[in-house]
Every structure is written in structure tokens, then in C-alpha cells.
Amino acid sequence: MKKAFMALKFHDGAKDQQKVDELTKALKGAGIENFVAVRDVEKYGEVKLPPNSKLMIVYAFPAMRKSDMLIVEFSKKGVGLGIVAGYAYAIGLPIYVIAKTGSDISLTISNLATKVIFYDDPKRFKAEFEAGD
């Protein structure tokens, strides 16, 4: 099974938790196990990190170095998503951008992406990731 660091803009609480769970299940069906900081480090808000904690430096970047790819859920833009994409590009990780159909994908992130995948139903990820680059 391939390992992916998955980044997304998380701000809607239970709704975003459901999205993470659905995407995780769909990716697992495609043979991809993901690491998601908000789930695996912050436990969806149960673990309160100190205000001066360096989430990206201490958790995200090391997890990315242990991954086979970066998956960026880009239905909603966020500065942090660009930062992880830039880091992944710098260390040579393939970058897969996934987004709900109709999402506005910035030129910057699309230029870094190995592949951009639009979806209505994440169950189709299996075919998208098996299709290769």
C-alpha cells in the first residue's frame, strides 16, 4: 500500500471530519493509506497544541518525507496547502491535487501538480490513481 500525506483546509468541524473519513476510505480502496495532521496529530481538536507549536515543522514535514506522495484536497484554498505543495515539490514528492468538480484550482498549485483530479464521488479515485500520471 502506498503512503500519502493528505492536506486539506479544515475548518467546518464535523462536516470536514466526515470529508476526511470519506476521502480516507476512498483512497484506501485505491491502495493508498493517508496521514492527515488534523486527524492523526490533533485528533480533530481533542489534542490542543500549544499556541507556539510548529505543526508543519514538527509533524507535517517529517510525515511528508516518509510518504510516497502528497494529496492536496483543494476544493477550498488555503495558504497552508500551498506551503505543503511547495515543500513536497522541493523534496521531489509527486503531488496529486483532488477537488470537487467546479473548484477553482490556482495556476500555482496546478503547475506543481503531477495530476489534478476533479471528483463528484471519491469512489472513482481508484481508477484515477491506477491510471497513473
**pLDDT > 90? residue 52:** no
| Residue 8 in this model has a pLDDT that exceeds 80 | yes
**Total count of residues recorded for the chain:** 133
Question: What CATH number should be reported for the domain holding residue 42?
Answer: 3.40.50.450
Q: What is the pLDDT of residue 46?
A: 80
- Residue 27 burial class via C-beta count within 10 angstroms: exposed 0-12, middle 13-18, buried 19 and up: buried
Q: How open is the CA angle 75-95-120, to the nearest 5 degrees? A: 35
pLDDT above 70 (res 21): yes
Q: What is the mean pLDDT of residues 37-48?
A: 84
In the chain, the number of structural domains is 1
Q: Give the pLDDT mean for 4-33.
A: 88
Tell me: pLDDT of 14 over 80.
no
Q: Where does the pLDDT of residue 132 fall: very low under 50, low under 70, confident under 90, or very high at 90 and above?
A: low
Segments forming the whole domain that contains residue 56: 2-130
Question: What span, in angstroms and rounded, lies between the C-alpha atoms of 11 and 101?
Answer: 20
Q: List, for residues 59-102, the tens digit of each pLDDT value.
A: 999 999 999 999 999 999 989 999 999 999 999 999 999 999 99
β partners of residue 61: none
The pLDDT score that the predictor gives to residue 123 is: 82
Supply the mean pLDDT for the chain: 90
Give the type of residue at 25. Answer: K
pLDDT at 129: 78
Residue 131 pLDDT level (bands cut at 50, 70, 90): low
Compute the average pLDDT of residues 4-24.
87
